[in-house]
Chains A and B, each alone.
Chain A
Amino acid sequence: MRTIILKSASSYLLPVLLLFSVFILLRGHYLPGGGFVGGLVAAIAFVLDAFSNGLDKTKSVLKFHPGFLMPLGLLIAFFSGISPIIFTDMPLMTGLWAENPIPVIGYIGSALFFDLGVYLVVIGASLTIIFTISESA
């Protein structure tokens, strides 16, 4: 699919889609969205790039193997789960929330870090699957 339209569009779509995926990730606590959907959108951004520019180019954009994101995401989610044990005396998975909202992002809580972990795991898993399939095809 080396069409000139897709090729020129994808160079703009990659950052826009990534930004959109972060937006979906952040609005996910009270509104539709969240880590899973956000992760899928981010993965689509890279898949679209791979379609138009080829797999090798996308891999060089990514700089590391996407599979690495899976344990990283799991680790972030894991620490968000046990953070109440570490920082307070409350039981596992209690929601911790910052007192004051941060501009643009809003209130930050341990749930956000869980979502961030899901986001990274979804990107890692879907990109690993898609890259492996297109390599062997």
Chain B
Amino acid sequence: MTNDIIILPLVVHLFFSILLMFFWNKVNFQKIVSVVGNAVALGVAIWVFIFVYNNGTYIVESGNWSAPFGIVFVGDMLAVTLVLLTAIAGFAVSIFSTISVIKARLRFGYFSVFHFLLLGLNGAFLTGDIFNLYVWFEIIIISSFVLISIGGEKNQLEGAVKYFALNFFASMIFLTALGVLYGLVGTLNMADISLKIAEVENRTLVEISAVLFLVGFGIKSAIFPLYFWLPASYHTPPSAVSAIFAGLLTKVGVYALIRVFALIYGGDSFLTILLLTLAILTIFSGGVGAIIQNNIKKVFMYFIICHIGFMIGGLALYTEIAMAGVIFYLIHDIIIKTNLFLMSGLIYRIKTTTNMKKLGGLYANYPKLSLLMAIPLFSLIGIPPLSGYWPKISLFLASFNAEEYWLFGALVFGSLITLIVIAKLWSEVFWKDQPQLDFPKKFIYFNQLRFGQKFTFIFPVAFLTFVTLYIGFGAEHIQQLSQRIATELMNNELYINAVLKQ
């Protein structure tokens, strides 16, 4: 078993999605199986994480074909950390799905597709072959398309079409970039490409392939100017689906950017300028977008875009401190964005709306719950010592040291605008008096639920908040981990040697 430990997260999710398909009509049973499956996946992810943490980068050569020829799965620290975060987010969202997603939606294989989505995410993080990365992206797109359109409401389908069209377009560009790169170096193994790309004489074509990758992954991770699909689609599905999309789908694009640019196009001066410009514009447009929105789901969506800019900016600086900041921010962001959308689902269940104008008085009605929700919101701003604070130190320091004052300004602007918007959201949703609401009669309100049902609603939020608190208060551990990952990324000989066994 330990020989193949790296691919166990994939095996678990694939097994459970197949198992869930056998019980297509038994929705209540599916709920139990899915939560158990995600608990198993979480256990396996922790095991894999500890294994790689102690033993260093570990690879599995699928089909017993040795490295540059077959497809390898590479478990380096970055990959297994993201697998662990995926498992944490997946566990929380699966529990939240059991109560918040209505039965009519669950009947169409919701949980099975959910496991396929997690399978695709884990596969994308673990693969060491760039064409295989494309295949995992396809699995992610197909399953997310099912999840976004399940239920078939009109605005949902509208969002789904936009989402699918642009993401499919991104995949096509990614495939084109792959074709160009394969034509140049004649290999698809990322470690092997990393060695051979330096010898390519046609530097123009190398830069073209880099820009194509940037566009492809840029659309997926919603960076400026290609982010318009995100605010148009993420608010349409149920909150549980939005949560997993917000937490992980855009981050897998960021992961791919980090992996490809650290391993293949590291330190290219043209790309650095391009990434810096894009990062600044992304932070600016996301922040400005967030401030004018009234729906809290849309506010959170623009925050996704804004904070993607933080990570892209750090990647553009490409120093060890900046990369540590990016990784820390990625860890913080996955948990926090998932939690924010779960919270918006919870608020919707309490108040029947997510419109800030109609919301109010949440603190007066649910003081304890409001305090619970305050922690993720404050972490998002980065109030010390909560989790958002620590990566921002690294990013500020790195941008200041590199004398990139525009990026520094953008980071400050992004943080300030987050503060302003969260302050506005807090006063509107939690402190303001409740305006007159026309309560629909058929709606099942939060306070009508039984204790167990309430617990299932609150537990995922509390669980993720606990993880956020750990990231904030145990920042030393996370910072050490991020620095280790950053060192591994900056010195990619470690990765290459592990894969090619030199």
Contacts and interface: CB of A to CB of B under 8 A. Distances in A.
Given A78-B15, A85-B1, A91 B63 contact: yes
Nearest to A74: B18
Interface residues on A, range: 10 to 19
B127 to A, nearest CB: 12
Contact of B62 (A70, A71, A93): A93
Contacts of A82: 11
B211 to A, nearest CB: 34
Contact of B21 (A74, A90, A95): A74
Contacts of B19: 71
For B15, B18, B24, B61, which residue has the most chain A Cβ atoms within 10 angstroms? B18
A92 B7 contact: yes
Interface string B1-37: 1011001000100110011011010000000000000
Contact of B63 (A70, A89, A92): A92
Contacts, number: 39
B interface residue count range (under 10 / 10 to 19 / 20 to 34 / 35 or more): 10 to 19
Contacts of B14: 78
B124 to A, nearest CB: 17
Contacts of A92: 4, 7, 11, 60, 62-63
Interface string B226-263: 00000000000000000000000000000000000000
Interface in B51-86: 60-64
Given A67-B24, A71-B21, A74-B21, A91 B15 contact: no
Interface in A72-114: 74-75, 78, 82, 84-85, 89-95
A94 B64 CA distance: 6
A91 B64 contact: yes
A91 B3 contact: yes
Contact of A78 (B1, B3, B18, B62): B18
A114 B1 CA distance: 21
A95 B7 CA distance: 17
Nearest to A86: B1
Contacts of B64: 84, 90-91, 94
A95 B24 contact: no
Contacts of A91: 3-4, 7, 60-64
Contact of B18 (A75, A84, A90): A75
Given A67-B24, A85-B4, A95 B63 contact: yes
A1 B312 CA distance: 62
A82 B3 CA distance: 12
A77 B211 CA distance: 38
Interface of B: 1, 3-4, 7, 11, 14-15, 18-19, 21-22, 24, 60-64
Interface of A: 67, 70-71, 74-75, 78, 82, 84-85, 89-95
22 contacts: A67-B24, A71-B21, A71-B22, A74-B21, A78-B14, A78-B15, A78-B18, A84-B64, A85-B4, A89-B3, A90-B64, A91-B3, A91-B7, A91-B60, A91-B61, A91-B64, A92-B60, A92-B62, A93-B62, A94-B62, A94-B63, A94-B64
